[in-house]
Every structure is written in C-alpha cells, then in structure tokens.
Amino acid sequence: MLDTKQRLLEAGLDLLLRCGFNHLGIQTLLTETGIPKGSFYHYFKSKEDFALQVVDRYMDEVHSGLNACLGEESVPPIQRVRNFFEATGNKYSQDGYLGCMLGGLGQELAGVNDVFRHRIDACLGIIGDRVGSCLELAVEQGDLPEDADTHQLAVLLVNCWEGAALRSRLQRSPEPLMAMLDFYFNAAVPKV
C-alpha cells in the first residue's frame, strides 16, 4: 500500500494532467485521496512544491520507459527510440489522449512561472539527451551517417513530439502522434 505522500503524488499525476496547475484545487486532491489538509502541508510547502514533486514523479515514469525501450540491446537503436515514443503514445491513449503532462504544464505556466519553465525545459532536455545517446549508438553501428548531429536530431524529435501531443489532446486521437513519428523516421532521420 502506498504511503500518504505517494498517494498524493499518484493522484497529482492524474489531476495535473486533467486539470492543469491553475485548476487543480488542493481540496479536490484531498477529497479524491481522503487525506486531511494537515497531511498535505506536512509533505509539501505549497501547491507549487507539490506540483514540482509530481513533475519529478512523472519523470520517474519517463525514465522507466526510456530504460525499458532504449535498453533493448537486441533492437536497433533507431527502432528503440521509435519504440519509446510509440509506448508513450500508448500511455497517452490509456489516459484519454490528454497528452504529455510536461507539455501541458509548460504551455500553461512557462509564461508566468520561471521555476516551472526551467524545470520543464530541463526535463525535456533530459529526454532529448537520453534519445540523443541512443541515436549516437545508431551512428556507431552504421545506421546513421558519421556526421549526423544526434543531439539536434533528438531535440527535433522531442519538440515535434510535444507539438503532436498537443494536437493529439485537441483531437483526442493518436493520429497526430503516429503521423509525426512516420514523418520523422522517414524524412528527418538521415539515411546511410
């Protein structure tokens, strides 16, 4: 069974994705979890502190997905990268096509809260770095040209994914995600 703090964070994953930061009421969180208000403030200094810790919890899930997909050594590196994004798209489907929590919070808060802007940008950078490292393996294995800028390819992929995730949320459909992946892996990734 999850401890109190973990229950709050788990509920926060769902509520921040559905409601965003500004529409997430602490009382809604407490009602949903059945946890008293004093317990919330025992674990979190503020709503902002809570949301930042939810972002960290979200990144734990992202790292698990990256580890599972990018660590599959029997799969070519470029396919590992695609597998990660396809698995992420499947998760979005399970969540009702609400998209990426990082992207949603970034769109909502980046213009008004530098703490979130920097944290979310750093999180997306970490994802790009992990993808770039896997693409570097593709260069080493001869699946990408030796002069391929794997960092730029990774940044482009993450940026395109975030845009497609927004469109997927708007349309409540996987189509923007799959079309973006098809385009990226057929047109943007240089062939050897």
Number of domains comprising the chain: 1
Is there a contact between 150 and 162 (Cβ–Cβ < 8 Å)? no
| Domain membership flag for residue 155 | yes
**Is 148 a domain residue?**
yes
Whether residue 151 is contained in a domain is answered as yes
Whole-structure pTM value: 0.94
What stretch of H or E contains 156? helix 150-171
For residue 182, the domain's CATH number is 1.10.357.10
Q: Can you tell me the distance from the alpha carbon of 54 to that of 16, in angstroms, rounded to the nearest whole number?
A: 8
- Is residue 27 one of the residues assigned to a domain? no
| Chain mean pLDDT for the chain | 95
Residue 183 is assigned to a structural domain of this protein? yes
Which residue bears the tokens 């990226």? 184
Residue 3 lies in a domain: no
The model's pLDDT over 76-97, given as tens digits with 9 standing for 90+, comes to 999 999 999 999 999 999 999 9
The answer, yes or no, to whether residue 127 has pLDDT greater than 90, is yes
Residue 36 lies in a domain: no
Cβ(132)–Cβ(151) below 8 Å: yes
Q: 35-84: per-residue pLDDT in tens?
A: 999 999 999 999 999 999 999 999 999 999 999 999 999 999 999 999 99
Radius of gyration of the chain measured on its C-alpha atoms: 18
SS3 category, 1: coil
Residue 179 falls inside a structural domain? yes
CA distance 190 to 192: 7
Q: How far apart are the two ends of the chain, measured CA to CA in Å? A: 51
**What is the extent of the structural domain holding 140?**
47-188
